[in-house]
Amino acid sequence: MPVRGNQFKKNTLREDALEGASQPFKKKVSEKREGLPKFNFNNDRAIKIFGLFLLLLAIYFLVSFTSYLFTWQDDQSYVIDANGGWSNLFKTTAELKSNGVLNPNIQNWTGKLGALLSHQFMYEWFGLASFIFVFVFVIIGYRLLFKVKLLSIHKTLAYSFFLLIFISVTLGFFHSFIGDYPHYIEGEFGYFSNLLLQAQIGSTGAAVLLVFAGLTCLIIAYNIDFKLPERKPKPITEHFLEDDDDMIEDEEEDVLEDDESQSLEDLQKNRLVNRPTLTTNSFEVENTLEKEEPVSRAKDDFDEVVNNISKPSPKIEDQEDLALTIEKTEEEAKADELVEQFGAFDPTLELSSYKNPTLELLEQYGSGKISVDTSELESNKNKIVETLNNYNIEIDKIKATIGPTVTLYEIIPAPGVRISKIKNLEDDIALSLAALGIRIIAPMPGKGTIGIEVPNSHPEMVSMRSIIATEKFQNTTMDLPIALGKTISNEVFIADLAKMPHMLVAGATGQGKSVGINTILVSLLYKKHPSQLKFVLVDPKKVELSLFKKIERHFLAKLPGEDDAIITDTKKVINTLNSLCIEMDQRYDLLKEAGVRNLKEYNEKFIKRKLNPNNGHRFLPFIVLVIDEFADLMMTAGKEVETPIARLAQLARAIGIHLVLATQRPSVNIITGTIKANFPARLAFRVTSKIDSRTILDSGGADQLIGKGDMLLSTGSDLIRLQCAFVDTPEVDRVTDFIGEQRGYASAYELPEYVGDDGDGGSVKDFDPNDRDAMFEDAARLIVMHQQGSTSLIQRKLKLGYNRAGRIIDQLEGAGIVGPFEGSKAREVLIPDDYSLEQLLDELNKKD
């Protein structure tokens, strides 16, 4: 039975492994876990306790049933129904005696309860087949307590149920030939079932039925073949046959003797070859747990199976079975074997105890119901009709859709009225309705109507909580769902940032832009696991995004060696953007190697263990770059910022890097043509001029919004008016606290290092022996010892980050210790042994 690695690697071990590693963190957690744990079914502890209970119950049943085989006669007068049965459990000796119990001193090794239980199961129910219950309890209990799958629970239950009945009835069948009374061999169930069967179909019928049931079960379980013995071709002469047989026997004996002479040695060798695979298996599993590295864990799994696969597979003996077998490539076979052994790779396993923020952290503002009274609707309708009539525009029909901030009046003009005429009267209509924020949509896309949006006199706030709580959000299958708010017809609006794939956000100061960005970030935090998503946050104002600092070890990405995960300095922004470009290029290389087109396919392949982590493959989280005040950056750095942003926006879609740029000043020198062209999704809060609205949306309208989260979302073709979900700073604070207090990764997600134009970037040609990494020699020895030029080996054994290990391998290449990068294969090791390596290292040291 293969060991299910993923099961081994569940919480318990990991948390133990962590104990030594991060004391301060542990302290925090224990502080948090004051009070008694809640017991619900999902509670891991409750499951373990239940598992333990089942295992102990199995032992109790086993002892009680076994003891029953020897003591049933002594205890019989106590357990039989005629003398009280189960009710005897609580009776005193005197009462028992008066009930006719001959021997109140119970002989069963598990006491009165055991005697009653075993009588119930063995005599009254299923006889000897009752031992199956012990087996079932062990399988389930073991699984729940140790999280190790001995057998499939479904199959165990199904087969046990069948066997319980089958064995009981079969034993009853045979017992019926010896005696005509129920016995603990088959139990009353087996006995009476048999009586019934024999009465209906006779002994022969019952026998046939039992054989049929038994064989059917075997066929279902093992798909056994029924083959008649083959007739051997007739020998030509008897004499020849005898000689031949002798010859064959002699030969076989020789072979056997030879075998014996070899056998001990061979056996030992075989054991040496085969055993370590198994022991490494369990050992490595634990080891990787301590290291907490999902990539190296997957890699160890991979290595093992490569070992296993290279072992000769058992010979196919039955040549005549012409069943069609579909050949799998070696890669696929490897992947299948890995999945079979360890289960699919689970990126969330490293932080398996991570909990998404709860709904209670968010505030419920307002009643959640829209309150627009009919008099307001009526008066607005009359004003619209009057105004239009003043301009000789006849209306056929008018209907209102009430939204949280505005009400949409849809008008069907009388035949012959030109739509452009109404559009031209926009300002006049707004004036006569005396309301700010009127927007005329003529015509309504997809409908033959004209829309007039009129703000409600009492706008309803849309709280983030009310959106997050909806089924639509909870059940969404979007990759990066952002709960933007509600539409004009009061429907929850959720967009997928992964599909957008980048977004420009603009709005004058105080109109809800910062709230909008928080809404986007919080939505994603409610939906994603830290292993699936990383934010790169740029906040030149230094205050807006500072709350997210707390989730650095969970959700933030930063440059290696940086202290602050939230970037406020322009120079660092440029480095980060370029670093993201490198990450993008690396991801493209990985995708190319994996032969897939996008991040989703890549990760699916990785999860199915079809990609070898030895070749640098890793689970790729989405990266969302948020720049809060883009205008500031463009003013100070211009092209230096624009170029990488444009590159990322153009190319990063497939590899899961998405950009959200926000600006107060949506002028053309900030939102340049290049940037605009690559940001099809634009979100506009109220802006101060029509020109600004055109810059951001390519149309007017944003200047006529009413502020406070009233916004327009343009997704290329559509323009949708939305009321942004409101999330206040204290709520964001609570959400980030909730996440920050949980166990996180050792550090933020490390982006590739970007050295800038003047740096050397660790290139081979620039290898300088004086500028070697401190771990250079250790890495060299490791590589030569293993004769395997792999970055991940260095990463794993020396416990280094990916980037540093990558730099060291480049330096090793520069020093001539490993060969150049060879795509999917590990690099060639150019130094054959330790001795040659030490000589080379000496030489390098002399050059210092």
Ligand X SMILES: Nc1ncnc2c1ncn2[C@@H]1O[C@H](COP(=O)(O)OP(=O)(O)OP(=O)(O)O)[C@@H](O)[C@H]1O
Residue 511, annotated ligand binder? yes
Radius of gyration of the chain (CA): 38
In the complex with ligand X, which residue's Cβ is closer, 512 or 656? Answer: 512
In angstroms, give the least distance from the CB of 465 to ligand X: 13
In the complex with ligand X, which residue's Cβ is closer, 510 or 816? Answer: 510
- Site residues, ligand X (CB under 6 A): 461, 507, 509-515, 664, 708-709, 724, 726
In the complex with ligand X, which residue's Cβ is closer, 9 or 439? Answer: 439
Residue 508, annotated ligand binder? yes
Residue 510, annotated ligand binder? yes
In the complex with ligand X, which residue's Cβ is closer, 461 or 783? Answer: 461
In the complex with ligand X, which residue's Cβ is closer, 731 or 750? Answer: 731
Spatial separation of the C-alpha atoms in residues 82 and 100, rounded to whole Å: 9
In the complex with ligand X, which residue's Cβ is closer, 512 or 644? Answer: 512
In angstroms, give the least distance from the CB of 564 to ligand X: 21
- SS3 of 567, please? strand
Spatial separation of the C-alpha atoms in residues 454 and 304, rounded to whole Å: 67
| CB-based contact 410:451 (threshold 8 Å) | yes
In angstroms, give the least distance from the CB of 520 to ligand X: 12
| CA triple 278-282-283, angle to 5 deg | 105
In the complex with ligand X, which residue's Cβ is closer, 485 or 752? Answer: 485
In the complex with ligand X, which residue's Cβ is closer, 150 or 402? Answer: 402
In angstroms, give the least distance from the CB of 461 to ligand X: 5
Backbone φ/ψ region at 368: left (φ over 0), alpha (ψ -120 to 50), beta: left
In angstroms, give the least distance from the CB of 434 to ligand X: 23
| CB-based contact 663:506 (threshold 8 Å) | yes
Spatial separation of the C-alpha atoms in residues 749 and 703, rounded to whole Å: 40
- Where does residue 588 rank: exposed (0-12), middle (13-18), buried (19+ CB within 10 A)? middle
In angstroms, give the least distance from the CB of 726 to ligand X: 4
In angstroms, give the least distance from the CB of 467 to ligand X: 11
Show the tokens assigned to 591.
């995708």
In 3D, which of 310, 285, 306 has the Cα closest to residue 296? 285
In 3D, which of 407, 518, 409, 381 has the Cα closest to residue 460? 407
| CB-based contact 731:533 (threshold 8 Å) | no
In angstroms, give the least distance from the CB of 539 to ligand X: 11
Spatial separation of the C-alpha atoms in residues 51 and 670, rounded to whole Å: 62
Residue 387 CA: distances (Å) to CA of 391, 407, 409, 701: 7, 17, 14, 21
In the complex with ligand X, which residue's Cβ is closer, 553 or 708? Answer: 708
Spatial separation of the C-alpha atoms in residues 624 and 534, rounded to whole Å: 6
In angstroms, give the least distance from the CB of 648 to ligand X: 24
Q: Where are the beta strands (DSSP E) in 293-447?
A: 395-402, 406-413, 439-441
Residue 509, annotated ligand binder? yes
In angstroms, give the least distance from the CB of 523 to ligand X: 13
b/e map 236-269, b = 16+ CB within 10 Å: eeeeeeeeeeeeeeeeeeeeeeeeeeeeeeeeee
Amino acid identity, position 845: N
In the complex with ligand X, which residue's Cβ is closer, 54 or 461? Answer: 461
| CB-based contact 610:519 (threshold 8 Å) | no
Q: What string of H, E and C letters represents the secondary structure of 392-424?
A: CCCEEEEEEEECCCEEEEEEEECCCCCHHHHHH
Residue 27, annotated ligand binder? no
In angstroms, give the least distance from the CB of 634 to ligand X: 16
In the complex with ligand X, which residue's Cβ is closer, 169 or 660? Answer: 660
Residue least distant from ligand X (Cβ):
709
A 10 A CB-CB count for 363 gives 14
Which residues belong to the annotated binding site for ATP?
507-514
Which residues belong to the annotated binding site?
507-514
